[in-house]
Amino acid sequence: MTDMLPLDGLKVLDFSQFLAGPYCALKLADLGADVVKVERAEVGDLSRYLYLTDTQIAGESTIFHAINRNKRSVAVNLKSEEDKAALRALVKEADVVLQNFRPGVMERLGFGFEAVKEINPTVVYGTVTGYGSNGPWVDLPGQDLLAQARSGVMWLTGARDDGPVAVGLPIADVLAGAALAHGVLALLVRRGIKGIGGQVETSLIEVLADLQFELLTTWLNDGGRRPERSANNPAHAYLAAPYGLYETADGHMAIAMGKLDLLAEITELNLDLSALDPFKDRDRIKAALAERIKGKTSQAWMEKFVEADIWAAPVMDWDGVMESGVLDTLDMIQTIENEDVSMRTTKLPLRIDGKRPKSSRAAPQLGDANALLKGRW
């Protein structure tokens, strides 16, 4: 057994900005890769200044620090031939190059896949876009909320009469970054076996289509018959009662699966279930169940449901998750630091040889690795 991380020695040159591409680079960095982030001189990555709240870390946004831990930074002027020549020297040594600009931008800058391959024939080149490199949406802004709107995800979320509901997380960006990391690692394996590089591409719309693969497959093979979202206690467009979220006397509870007749007995549900269909009569059953669930606390219901093997869980906020101790038990929280920063954040959601990799170095100061531009990596 060794403490060396799996990607130790791998060199990643990351041109990407904000979230999708940098999330891929974060996963590679956490696994041991040396990630050098290419930023605009004096300005840096937009996410340094794009705030989620008024919380700042060393004058910069928490977004930037969360997504760029364990990386280094070179600050360059991509209109400068001198800086571009220095970057080409880094490209020559890189194992992986990442970018998430709109189609055509990297080509105009001189660092598209074909140009990079000329410099480094075995490089693995990863690209994230909003909607692919061609097609009717190619020139539209590739942003998470907009991709959610165009993908069908918003239409699936929420109750029937709510209208579209956005997912409260940047799921398109995170899923695209994860998919890109998946593809990069696959090409690195191929390079190790066959000695050839290559390009992997994904987009926000592709990963959101993949997220819906189960439901889309059903729809595609059901004559295009759309699911009817539940009018109350929604959670899934297709699944029958009791699947959904329910208000309790002191909070909310998710009920997933279990024998409906047993659930009716436990909750003293006043319905003749033998005359009802859990799919066709879903809303009627769920509305009656909701009235019963309101009468007791979440903990009181959980004791009954656990005993009866009804799959249920209380809806917890972040305080509740932390107080449960589960993240401490799993060693999922860490402190990251640099000269100006000390902050808590999450860790890589993987264990390697029984241990969770640590990445205690905070996000880079702008240009902290500019010495690389004057010499070898």
Q: What is the pLDDT of residues 102-132, one digit of tens each?
A: 999 999 999 999 999 999 999 999 999 999 9
Q: Which residue has the tokens 């693969």?
A: 213
Domain-embedded: residue 113: yes
Q: What are phi and psi of 300, to 5 degrees?
A: -65, -45
- Host domain of residue 171: 11-211+327-374
The span from the CA of 8 to the CA of 4, in Å, is 7
Q: Same domain, yes or no, for 305 and 198?
A: no
Q: Same domain, yes or no, for 108 and 166?
A: yes
CATH assignment of the domain containing 18: 3.40.50.10540
- Identity of residue 20: A
Q: Same domain, yes or no, for 37 and 151?
A: yes
What is the per-residue pLDDT for 79?
92
- H-run or E-run covering 110: none
Contact 269, 292 (CB under 8 A): yes
Of 88, 78, 81, 84, the C-alpha closest to 120 is 88
Q: Same domain, yes or no, for 305 and 338?
A: no
Domain-embedded: residue 342: yes
Q: What is the pLDDT of residues 45-67, one digit of tens each?
A: 989 988 677 788 888 999 999 99
The crossing angle, in degrees rounded to 10, of helices 144-151 and 171-194 is 90
**Within 10 A of 255 (CB to CB), how many other CB atoms are there?**
24
- Give buried/exposed letters for 287-319 (b at 16+ CB in 10 A, else e): ebbbebbeebebeebbeebeeeebebebebeee
Q: Same domain, yes or no, for 185 and 296?
A: no
Exposure on the CB side of residue 306, measured as CA atoms within 13 A:
8
Q: Same domain, yes or no, for 341 and 294?
A: no
Residue 304, token pair as written in the block: 């009954």
What is the per-residue pLDDT for 1?
43
Tally the domains of the chain.
Answer: 2
The span from the CA of 101 to the CA of 68, in Å, is 18
Q: Domain boundary residue among 314, 344, 362?
A: 314
Q: Which residues are catalytic, by number?
A: 173
- Identity of residue 261: D
What is the per-residue pLDDT for 2?
57
The span from the CA of 99 to the CA of 17, in Å, is 8
- Mean pLDDT by 10-residue block, N- to C-terminus, for the chain (377 residues)? 84 97 97 97 92 79 93 96 97 98 96 98 97 93 95 90 90 97 98 98 97 93 88 86 95 91 94 91 94 96 95 94 94 90 91 85 94 90
Ramachandran category for residue 135: left, alpha or beta (phi over 0 → left; psi -120 to 50 → alpha): left
Q: Same domain, yes or no, for 116 and 201?
A: yes
Domain-embedded: residue 79: yes
Sign of CA dihedral 263, 265, 270, 272: positive
Domain-embedded: residue 2: no
